[in-house]
A and B are shown apart, each in its own frame.
Chain A
């Protein structure tokens, strides 16, 4: 029982390591360097975007008040650039003017009673303050002078009465509704304190670890698995466009949301999966299936590793949106500030944890004033740092805004100016590529977007370009296409014929061993007639040529390597530079090779007839469909782009289905199993295979440990005796 549980947890650990370790990338750049990251979490240095111009460490000369802040949790800059700091530790609100001189301090008046650990504030244009008086479980509406106006407690509703009311972060819309963060929802309260609905329920998502656990766990254990709830919201702010911008613990595009009036997230929605979504089936293919085949289909806000390269899940503690719709968030664990445009493209990441100006210990809140200065509150350092935008980032903002407004010529010029400063700024190249696209310069657009590996823009331009080429050279293209089709058909019919011949000669010439070329043809035949081919092997076990499986493995590997170089870049699963020869071999061979001992072990204990040679032979030959499909596919992909990726995905998946079928028929026929038993044995073998991986993984981890242990022992020995 216990062993099973340990096994399960080890398995999930291992899978986890395998899943996350590939895209963790550590950068050597220090905290001072500004950068942007693309989808592949690669940090691209860019010029300095913000400078610290002022640090406010205390309230300055203001009567006889406690000078410093204590655990401040929120900052708000109103439309007149007055700054409100919620000084949670001292239960007060410090109001400063735009010169950061303290003009007032509020503790609550007689009517309201004193505040108790307030955590959030929203100030209307007329100066009315809405304070989340968290410790007192209420929201206070205060006049600009800090006088009590009204208070809101838990609104009456079936949906809310069960839960405690701990208001922390809130906004008030121009229409008078109050939106308060409440777990996985944002709760709306109307002007009279009535409950007006829960908005923007976060996605529950699915969890691989949990799925595996559910398969492995016993009935009893299943009960003890904690039911997962949806991710919580963290903070909200109000955009000048009237939209609610929020941060949450939801992952993959859900970290930052832009909610419309009915609570739907419209920020970057499906931006990353192309434009071809039309029905639930293709949507499923694109969102779930293609993630494993085509890279960059999953988008995450922020970064999922810290400066040391260790995996972490970001917590966007606060969010600010300026008048141009530039979204800035502050991440708590790594202390980074991330800025995005309205399309969700990262403009800059800066900050970090540290001791120097412009770095943080525990940032707790962020806001932006009318000049674009960013105010960041740190609750451990108990200070506010004011960041002023540099020329460079102002240019970027203008360019992004102009483009969003549809003024392509203006944005083109601005992007050019950005490139004058930073020749490698991704978004500028994308912006220019988009402008070219709008101007009908498709080839230029393709070149420009390819420079920075932007698949979406490239795809748009490519599709138009293909259309243009087709229209201009219709006859020529038609002739070439016909020629290729005829050629391929001839080749295929020849292959079918010759492989059939090879099959029959293998069966009939009982004394001759299988030749190498004959074996390869036999492999081809096996794809078309798996049952016949398996029967052939079953009755002629002794005559199969063991060079063939190795040859197939090597050919498949060569195809894979060639594929990485040749496949059209919008459809590529990785960049050539990121590819690793060993890793590719492991990925390709791990299933067919580990299948050999796994299925041998499984079948030999349940009346199987197979021996190692024929299992090796058939397992390796299961890669034949992979070769047959990918060889033409890599060339064909060059006239396809991301808009055909579901077709592309289907073909890729076919290769794996073919592999599965061959393994299935091999097991069924070679062992003389029934169909049902084969399925059962397939499961057993698959489980054995997982066990083998686990053991190998454990061995890898433990041998590393052992080496480390010996080294430590050696060091200790040296320290103690030398």
Chain B
């Protein structure tokens, strides 16, 4: 009966259900829209301000030690700091002495005279974009608390109910700026997104002799004097420290995106005449970025550089709409949503004021390096008298797509590795830093598998032989590269629900490729656990080190319900992971050059060589390398066998203090054709042996004495002529020109370099 009744009316019933669902959906949407319409902002009563924006105020000394003196202007909430060693006054905001304030509009006047600016969103209209608030115009509530060594200022933006406290104090090094997050107050629906701190500290017009330094790639310099050489519509450039701010797979993983937008060190610098400052984020650098504003950007003839603190994570939401005839056209727009919660991480910025020979980018790098040494964030891992190694990356096995089955192609097996190292040894290559990649069963398609070694390469017994070789040849450091950052559905072996990273909208941080394989970022706890299991497997192979791919250039927060992480927590987890590897008696190699990797690394590979090449960057400098040199061995991203000219590449290595580096295989590179590795167009060991040995011998004979020495100075003498100096006084002139050059009395042949030993 009932059955028949339903059967006869099945169409109507389905229709009814659909209608009901639609009605319910509509009702919910309307309710939601109504909820949104009633903003509590209307209920918020703006407190009365205590600031007279017209008052000029005056700077009073609030703290002083042997090095610096801090002045504070209570009426404006602004600071100035005096370097007592030379009497130089650094101004926190712009005044008429620095820039003609008459020439700019009101908004810019407000910005130029602000100590902080904030950007914010609306909790209930999260897609709305507001123009930023400036402390000199919008902070109508100012509360000052005098501390023993400085001052704590609360900037209250009454109209949006946001309060930010900034502590300006001094220590023996210079200025310390702290932003305690527990003192951030949000009284209304407005949410604090970012805080720009002292954006105009040291701001300089075109007439000043100086430059800005920022870690674009290995480091880049913007000269004030070059303002007229740049394009007409020059743009400011923003960098996010360690990893992209956007939390989607593409932004994090894409190489071009990374090279464009990320900074590997939390460092900025500015040189004005013979003085300079170095800004370092010493706490909470993981959620911060920096802005570089060359003269001419936004039509203001002022160079300035500053940090921006991210107080909330942002997420990209793709909204797709269907339109057009035939349903073919798709429009996708990306909307940014802010997280509801603040990143509860205090931030601290140290400003070091430098003079004399330290007032240069080389000096800044030296100062930063000393800071890292003092705080034990980097260690000298190069023993006294160590031989300069040759850096090798050896690719072991790949899979190529076949029609029915994928084809495994052995490129270099474990025996080949031993024989290559032996052959090199016989030819005088005394030491190597060798990273073995793609040695895991199944080739490259099996991420995130970390075990076992492919049987085609010799399997565990081959690995045992390699371990024995490493045991008797302690100068050959061999690292098995693994990665614990990315997982694919092809590889499997992890839960696509529990073990992966989520963004704040509880969507996995993942991407699908053309073959329908999904790529995920793994949860940091998962990474840690997997590494622990890998270390158990590696117990028998204690003379082999571990190389970590991706670790030195990808970080992200994770909203995974079981194991949530902030960026800072993730970085700490990564450090803990590296420590556990070292505790298990394995050496550690890391790919990338993010600062957090320095602490535990025995070797860094694929570090950036040069900057991205924006029109605002006048030249690239080895800033990262000057921090590392003499402490941790490193190679750069450019392999000698993949360059257009080995001689030029060799000189680049010498300029950057990097090890000679080759990316090799035993089997011919022809096998890479039409595979995932086709960018390795040349790698066959037998083809390259002579050239590898020749380059190594040349560099060994000339540069062994500076191996383990810090690179203390780098200078571009003229176009394509560079001078570098090591701590022991050895100077090297590198001439990239096609003709001979003379530098400081030394003749440097075309396309060559000359080493002048210290004291000669």
Binding site for B on A (CB under 8 A): 6, 9-10, 13, 26, 29-33, 42, 44-49, 52, 55, 57-58, 67-68, 309, 354-358, 381-383, 390-393, 420-425, 451-452, 561, 564, 575-577, 579-581, 701-702, 705, 708-709, 712, 715-716, 718-722
Contact between chains at A26 and B514 (CB < 8 Å): yes
Contact of A576 with B403 in the complex, beta carbons under 8 Å: yes
Does B328 belong to the interface (CB within 8 Å)? yes
- How far apart are B91's CB and chain A's nearest CB, in angstroms? 31
Given contacts A13-B326, A720-B32, contact A564 B403 (CB under 8 A): yes
The one of A383, A423, A708, A719 in contact with B683, judged by C-beta atoms closer than 8 angstroms, is A423
What is the minimal beta-carbon distance from A44 to any residue of chain B, in angstroms?
6
Shortest C-beta distance, B683 to chain A (Å), equals 7
Interface string of B681-715 (1 = CB under 8 A from A): 11110010000000000000000000000000000
A1 to chain B minimum Cβ distance, whole angstroms, is 16
When C-beta atoms are compared, the residue in chain A nearest to B319 turns out to be A712
B425 interface contact, C-beta 8 A: no
Which residues from chain B contact A421 at a C-beta distance below 8 Å? 644, 682
Which residue of chain A lies nearest to B29 when distances are taken between CB atoms in the complex? A720
Give the CA-CA distance A515 to B255 in the complex, in Å.
63
Binary CB contact string for chain B from 226 to 237 against chain A (1 if under 8 A, 0 otherwise): 001111100000
- The contact string, 1 if C-beta is below 8 Å from chain A, for chain B 596-624, is 00000000000000001111000000000
Least CB distance from A677 to B in Å reads 35
Looking at B114-122, B446-454, B668-676, the stretch in contact with chain A turns out to be B668-676
Across-interface contacts of B403 in A (CB, < 8 A): 561, 564, 576-577, 579-581
Of B402, B403, B684, most buried by chain A (CB within 10 Å of CB) is B403
B682 touches A422 (CB 8 A): yes
Contact A719 B317 (CB under 8 A): yes
Contacts of A575 in B (CB 8 A): 674
Question: Which residue of A has the minimal Cβ distance to B320?
Answer: A712
Taking a contact as CB atoms under 8 Å apart, the answer to whether A424 and B678 are in contact is yes
Residue in B230, B232, B673, B681 whose beta carbon sits within 8 Å of that of A46 in the complex = B681
Contact partners of A356 in chain B: CB under 8 A: 260, 612-614
Q: In the docked arrangement, what's the CA distance between A13 and B670, Å? A: 40
Report the minimum CB–CB distance from A243 to chain B (whole Å): 30
Given contacts A708-B320, A719-B317, 11 further A-B contacts (CB under 8 A): A44-B678, A46-B681, A47-B643, A67-B228, A355-B260, A356-B613, A357-B614, A420-B687, A424-B678, A716-B319, A721-B32
Flag if A383 contacts B326 (CB, 8 Å): no
B668 A6 Cβ-Cβ under 8 A:
no
CB of A423 within 8 A of CB of B681, answer yes
Knowing A49-B644, A423-B682, A424-B681, the reply to whether A57 touches B320 (Cβ < 8 A) is no
CA distance A355 to B230 in the complex (A): 13
Q: Which chain A positions have C-beta within 8 A of B615?
A: 55, 57, 355, 357
Contact of B38 with A by CB under 8 A: no
Cross-chain contact of B232 among A57, A424, A708 (Cβ < 8 A): A57
Q: How far is the CB of B383 from chain A (nearest CB, A)?
A: 36
Chain B residues, Cβ within 8 Å of A30: 255-256
A356 to B235, CA, bound (A): 12
- Nearest chain-A residue to B229 (Cβ)? A57
Which A-B residue pairs are the 3 nearest by beta carbons? A356-B613, A357-B613, A392-B644
B346 contacts partner chain A, Cβ-Cβ < 8 Å: no
A10 B684 Cβ-Cβ under 8 A: no
CA distance A355 to B259 in the complex (A): 12
Complex interface: chain B residues within 8 A of A47 (CB) = 642-644, 681-682
Nearest CB of chain B from residue A308's CB, rounded to whole Å: 11
- Would you call B326 and A424 a contact (CB within 8 A)? no
Residue in A48, A309, A577, A580 whose beta carbon sits within 8 Å of that of B644 in the complex: A48
- Nearest residue (CB) in B for A61 is B228
B683 touches A577 (CB 8 A): no
Does the CB pair B670–A451 fall under 8 Å?
Answer: yes
Q: How far is the CA of A383 from the CA of B229 in the complex (A)?
A: 11
Some 28 contacts from A to B, beta carbons below 8 A apart, are: A6-B325, A9-B325, A30-B255, A33-B679, A42-B674, A44-B673, A44-B678, A45-B678, A45-B679, A47-B682, A49-B644, A67-B228, A67-B232, A68-B231, A68-B232, A355-B260, A356-B614, A381-B231, A390-B644, A423-B669, A424-B670, A424-B681, A561-B404, A577-B402, A705-B327, A712-B319, A719-B317, A722-B506
A32 surroundings in chain B (CB, below 8 A): 256
Is B400 an interface residue when CB atoms closer than 8 A count as contact? yes
How far does the alpha carbon of A715 sit from the alpha carbon of B229 in the complex, in Å?
Answer: 48
> Contacts of B260 on A, CB cut-off 8 Å?
355-356
On chain A, the residues within 8 Å of B328 by CB distance are 13, 701
Interface string of B463-474 (1 = CB under 8 A from A): 000000000000
Contacts of B255 on A, CB cut-off 8 Å? Answer: 30
Q: How far is the CA of A357 from the CA of B260 in the complex (A)?
A: 12
Q: Does B6 contact A (CB under 8 A)?
A: no
- Rounded to whole Å, the gap between the CB of B255 and the closest CB of chain A is 6
Within 8 A of A (CB), among B248-265: 255-256, 260
Determine the residue in chain B with the shortest Cβ distance to A576: B403
Q: CB-CB < 8 A to B337: which residues of A?
A: 719
Bound Cα distance from A705 to B328, whole angstroms: 10
| A392-B682 Cα distance, complex, nearest whole Å | 13
B23 located at the interface, meaning its Cβ lies under 8 Å from any Cβ of chain A in the complex: no
Minimum CB distance partner of B682 in chain A: A423
Q: Which residue of A lies closest to B676 (CB)?
A: A28
Q: How far is the CA of A390 from the CA of B256 in the complex (A)?
A: 23
Task: Determine the chain A residues whose CB is within 8 A of the CB of B404 once the complex forms.
Answer: 561, 581
List of A residues within 8 angstroms of B256 by Cβ: 30-32, 354
Query: Which of chain A's residues have a CB closer than 8 A to the CB of B84?
Result: none
CA of A720 to CA of B514, assembled, Å:
31
Residue of B nearest to A394 (CB): B644
Interface residues of B in 371-422 (CB under 8 A from A): 400-404
Interface 1/0 per residue, B638-680 and A, CB below 8 Å: 0000111100000000000000000000001110111000110
Contact B231 A391 (CB under 8 A): no
Q: Tell me if A382 and B232 are in contact (CB < 8 A).
A: yes
Determine the distance from Cα of A702 to Cα of B328 in the docked complex, in whole angstroms: 10
Contacts of A31 in B (CB 8 A): 256
In the complex, whether B344 has a CB less than 8 A from a CB of chain A is no
Interface centre among B260, B644, B672, by most chain A C-beta atoms within 10 angstroms, is B644
B129: interface (CB < 8 Å): no
Q: In the complex, what's the smallest C-beta–C-beta distance from A370 to chain B, in angstroms?
A: 16
Most central of A13, A421, A575 by chain B CB within 10 Å: A421
Q: Which interface residue of B402, B612, B674 has the most chain A CB atoms within 10 A?
A: B674
Which residues of the other chain, B, contact A423 by a CB distance below 8 angstroms? 668-670, 681-684, 687
Q: Cβ of B402: which chain A residues have Cβ within 8 Å of it? A: 576-577
B254: nearest chain-A partner, CB-CB: A30
> Is B750 among interface residues, defined by CB-CB distance under 8 A?
no
Beyond A30-B255, A45-B678, is A424–B672 a contact (Cβ under 8 Å)? yes
Q: Are A392 and B645 in contact (CB under 8 A)?
A: yes
- Chain B residue nearest to A69 (CB atoms) is B232
- Which single residue of chain A is at the shortest CB-CB distance from B35? A720
Cβ proximity bits B310-332 to A, threshold 8 Å, 1 near / 0 not: 00000001011010011110000
Residues of A within 8 Å of B28, CB to CB, are 721
Nearest-CB residue, chain B, relative to A10: B326
CB-based contact A424/B682 at 8 Å: yes
Query: Are B670 and A6 in contact (CB-based, < 8 A)?
Result: no
Chain B residues, Cβ within 8 Å of A9: 325-326
What's the nearest-Cβ distance from chain A to residue B430, in Å?
26
Assess whether A424 is in contact with B612, with CB atoms less than 8 Å apart.
Answer: no
Considering the complex, give the chain B residue whose CB is closest to the CB of A388: B738
Partner of B681, one of A355, A422, A720: A422
Give A479 Cβ to nearest chain B Cβ, in Å: 36
Residues from chain B with a CB closer than 8 A to the CB of A709 are 322
Query: B19 an interface residue at 8 Å Cβ cutoff?
Result: no
Chain B residues within an 8 Å CB radius of A68: 231-232
Question: In the assembled complex, which residues on chain B have CB atoms less than 8 Å from the CB atom of A561?
Answer: 403-404
A52 to B615 Cα, complex, angstroms: 12
Which residue of chain A lies nearest to B668 when distances are taken between CB atoms in the complex?
A: A423
Pair B681/A45 contact, Cβ less than 8 Å: yes
B716 an interface residue at 8 Å Cβ cutoff?
A: no
